[in-house]
Chain A
Amino acid sequence: MIMTTCVVLFAAALLGEGTCGVYSPDGGKIAMQRVVAGKSRVGVLDRASGRFAWVEKGTGNAAYPAWSPSGDAIVYAYGNETNTAWAAKDGDTGYHLRVWRHGSGVREITTGRFRDYMPSFSHDGNRIFFVSTRCASPEVFLATRSGVYSIDADGGELAYLVPSHVNDEGAGQPVVSPDGKMLALAQNTGFRSTWRIVCMRLSEPGSICTVSLKGQSAYAPRWTPDGRHIVYTGFSKGDPGWCVYVLNPRTGGARRICEGRNPDVHPSGAFLLYDDGKSLYERPFGTGDLPGADEVVVDEESRLYDEPERLVWRAEKPDYPATVPMTEAFNFGTDRTFFVRAKVRYTPAASPRFRHFLTGEYEGAKLGFELFIDHGLPKFGVRDGDGAYMGAVSDMVLEAGHEYVLTGIRTSSALYIHVEGKSLREMRFSATYPLDRPIRLEVGPTVGGKGDILLGEVGTGWPANVPHPITRTKFFAGEGAK
């Protein structure tokens, strides 16, 4: 990995109290949040005169301002919880999007007991992209998720752009590239993971590529005015705290600029705005801050998927329940990529709720890995260092009587569940339980239903039948170096 720290040659100027600042399109103003009496409010600072004016005068919390491309409007999130949660349970209070327009005041464009937040305008100003908890079903226990939506700038129908498929999967700060083709956002696939920056082509929803540094926690992306780089808040082990990074998403080259967060680059490209959680700062910004064209990060993910599959166990139409002693070949440690594959005929019998297909027992972890179905949803799980389950969940409910090839994969940093020909779901993690002392493989150990398992396989490397997640190399192929 190439990552260099730019020496700070210029002192940053303190602009005053405020966070989440964003430059207006003409660069003359800064919209920001400020805390007053414990509440977040949104206002605008005139850079030349230093004059400050509030945009939102309500008594609730206003946050995450973003300018329209023409500079005549600001969208932000607003919420005003005046009751206890119990008293407000049947109301539609929540965090909603408000649009302030020059000359016509403020208009609320979303409603409902949801949290709509972190909005931004499309490059043409016609749509607003934002994060929302609308995808979190109230029926789900501990429903914790957020996805990316868009809506006409004047309100209306919603489009669900970046779904959250499972609990604890979330999105943050979607921002459209200046050419209107690409969405950058923060994404998190679970508690045992951290935030990362991903890019998605708006013409190909679902085609998502991780662009931030491996092993880094990263959020709050913004494009540089030329669309070639992304500035964001990041933390890598050894950093003094949250830092401002600048990244070339096409090469993976990144530089740490300074301590700070919530960066934005001036439309001229000459200044960087950021905060420290309390106050706003501005510093000069230029080509010297950018990663060089030769700073190309080895696409580690590509290498990961290049390792061909190699079977360590295979059984056609296996008898089960059955126990197979596992040899040292099943020693996958914490880092080695392995997969568990089963061709199954899904026949919900007496207990359709839960059924194991293949499980691996290791010293200290009876269910070191497990490929199974829960409420018709394929899942693949391993154990965390605590010995507790962590797993990837498919977004596809199996239909009774059909045959499927299910593949669970664990790499050094992610779990996947794949339903052949259908979908691949991912869950990232920081650490996992070491599968280094193999004991036994259990085939179909729980519920019956003869004929369910038609083929069972365990192997190392990336399984040949699973198209791997899109890599940066492939995602940006054909674009040129920009």
Chain B
Amino acid sequence: MNAKYFALLGVMFGAAACGAFEKIAYIDSFDYPGFLETETAEGSVRILDNVLKTGATTILWRNQSGAIPRYPSAEEALPLKEPPLDKRRIPLSEPIRGWVRFDDCGTNLIQVAADECARRGVTFGIHMTTEENHGESWTLSPWNLEHPQFWCCAHGGAPWPGRCSLAYDEVLAHKLRLVDELLAMKPAMIYIDLCRAGGWGPNLEFVIPMENEWRRLYDCEPPANWRDPRWIALVEKYVYRYIARIRERIARTGRRTELVMAVERFGAKEDYDYIYRAVDWRKLLRTGVIDSVAVACIAPDWNDPWGSTARIYGDVVREVRGIGRGKVYFPIMSYNFTNRPGYSEYAKQLGISNEAAVQRLLELARDAGGDGITMEVVDFNNYSPSVCKAIREF
């Protein structure tokens, strides 16, 4: 399938879906086990009840936990993946959370959530991390652990089990089989989260096929410094191939599934997603591979938080509209991460309440011409009742 085909699909989809101001919430749901029973169908419904307090119109369920799918997955089905039955994974020992087995509780918990969303008239989708995000040794997938020959490598050859390289066709096929498993649950949206990449970047792509291709292209050894623009461009080619194949898989289902790419740090000096994730979202949007861009976070100027945020939002919308297709979502983020300021950072910087900060961010998202907001990880109690009310009533 070519880029024109994707673009046509995208235009059709955009025309059909435009208009409403979406409130998209995504659920890590790994937070919930400490608060309620989550390994049952009732648990999934209770999680949904909690998230809907925000007034969310779309719910995105996380696909995995500890790099193990939250549903019975044939692709990651190894009998001895339960900690500590795999010698290569250090078990998570937190009470309750370190013992949950979402994939092995006799129920497809994500399907339960999907069905419940349908019953309540809420759009259901999947929040798909680039790689497991918690960056610890319990977050290595069974498939990765079984296939060291595909592991990413640092310059110099040190292997790293956190991710298998997309430069291998076998890895691409594995990841697409996982996508197929998700598509079987008929999500209306798949949200690819680049922030949650598990520490992966082009610096870990010094794998044999990538190096061989570099030698073929440039007739020299791969660069010691992964920030070489030619190296990033080479890695980007394989990331693009993967996401384009996801689009193909979606097209094969014959159903509408909005493919959203979450990108980050707009307003920063560097093109963060391109340099650190080898993702060119503009190209993906232009060629019809993705339908929408979710701005996961920005880098505001704290001397002028609202003004700079409005400018950055405006820049994003103008850029997307300039491409000629695609929706834009802006973040409402409860947590504050390094270089990823949430609404509480605005509140702190300006000496205002969280609700007031959220209200203003909602207005900025709307006024910039955004198509909606994404609520970054709605955990059990990180969005206060008053913040939920502000979002719900906007």
Cβ of B208 and Cβ of A237 under 8 Å apart?
yes
Given contacts A144-B92, A364-B270, whether A215 and B159 have CB atoms under 8 Å apart is yes
How far is the CB of A95 from the nearest CB of chain B, in Å?
A: 6
A145 / chain B contacts, CB cutoff of 8 Å: 90, 93
How far is the CB of A122 from the nearest CB of chain B, in Å?
A: 21
In chain B, positions 77-101 with a C-beta closer than 8 Å to chain A are 79-80, 82-85, 87-88, 90-101
Cβ of B99 and Cβ of A241 under 8 Å apart?
no
Residue of B nearest to A173 (CB): B87
> How far, in whole Å, are A140 and B93 apart by their CA atoms in the complex?
9
In chain A, positions 376-393 with a C-beta closer than 8 Å to chain B are 384-389
A413 / chain B contacts, CB cutoff of 8 Å: 158
Cβ of B94 and Cβ of A138 under 8 Å apart?
yes
> How far, in whole Å, are A215 and B202 apart by their CA atoms in the complex?
19
A133 on the B face (CB < 8 A): yes
> How far, in whole Å, are A428 and B150 apart by their CA atoms in the complex?
21
Interface size on B, residues (CB 8 A): 66
B80 / chain A contacts, CB cutoff of 8 Å: 19, 33, 35, 40, 61, 63
A195 on the B face (CB < 8 A): yes
Q: How many A-B residue pairs have CB under 8 A?
A: 196
Query: Per-position contact with B for A80-105: 1 when CB-CB < 8 Å, else 0?
Result: 01001111110000010000000000
In chain A, positions 219-240 with a C-beta closer than 8 Å to chain B are 219-220, 235-240
Cβ of A86 and Cβ of B33 under 8 Å apart?
yes
Residue of B nearest to A259 (CB): B149
A10 on the B face (CB < 8 A): no
Cβ of A237 and Cβ of B139 under 8 Å apart?
no
In chain A, positions 142-186 with a C-beta closer than 8 Å to chain B are 142-146, 167-170, 172-173, 186
How far is the CB of A45 from the nearest CB of chain B, in Å?
A: 19
Cβ of B137 and Cβ of A190 under 8 Å apart?
yes
Q: Of B6-14, B35-43, B357-365, B383-391, which binds chain A?
A: B35-43
In chain A, positions 386-412 with a C-beta closer than 8 Å to chain B are 386-389, 412
B148 on the A face (CB < 8 A): yes
B225 / chain A contacts, CB cutoff of 8 Å: 333-334, 434, 436
B207 / chain A contacts, CB cutoff of 8 Å: 237
Cβ of A61 and Cβ of B134 under 8 Å apart?
no
Q: Of B193-201, B243-251, B366-374, which binds chain A?
A: B193-201
Among B95, B138, B154, B339, the most chain A Cβ lie within 10 Å of the Cβ of B154
Cβ of A385 and Cβ of B157 under 8 Å apart?
no
How far is the CB of B93 from the nearest CB of chain A, in Å?
A: 4
B161 on the A face (CB < 8 A): yes
Set B96, B135, B201: member contacting A89, Cβ < 8 A? B96
Set A63, A89, A136: member contacting B93, Cβ < 8 A? A136
> How far, in whole Å, are A117 and B225 apart by their CA atoms in the complex?
41
B292 on the A face (CB < 8 A): no
> How far, in whole Å, are A273 and B224 apart by their CA atoms in the complex?
40
B226 on the A face (CB < 8 A): yes
A143 / chain B contacts, CB cutoff of 8 Å: 92-94, 98
B105 on the A face (CB < 8 A): yes
Set A88, A144, A262: member contacting B91, Cβ < 8 A? A144
Residue of B nearest to A235 (CB): B148
B155 on the A face (CB < 8 A): yes
B204 on the A face (CB < 8 A): yes
Cβ of B155 and Cβ of A191 under 8 Å apart?
no
Among B83, B90, B135, B200, the most chain A Cβ lie within 10 Å of the Cβ of B90
Cβ of B84 and Cβ of A95 under 8 Å apart?
yes
A–B Cβ pairs within 8 angstroms, 23 of them: A39-B79, A40-B85, A84-B105, A85-B39, A86-B38, A117-B84, A141-B94, A144-B93, A146-B91, A168-B137, A173-B87, A191-B136, A215-B157, A216-B159, A219-B88, A235-B149, A236-B157, A241-B148, A333-B224, A335-B224, A385-B204, A387-B339, A389-B338
18 additional A-B pairs beyond A172-B88, A334-B224, beta carbons within 8 Å, are: A33-B80, A61-B85, A63-B80, A84-B40, A84-B100, A89-B96, A142-B136, A145-B90, A170-B137, A194-B158, A215-B156, A236-B157, A241-B149, A385-B199, A385-B203, A388-B135, A430-B154, A430-B158
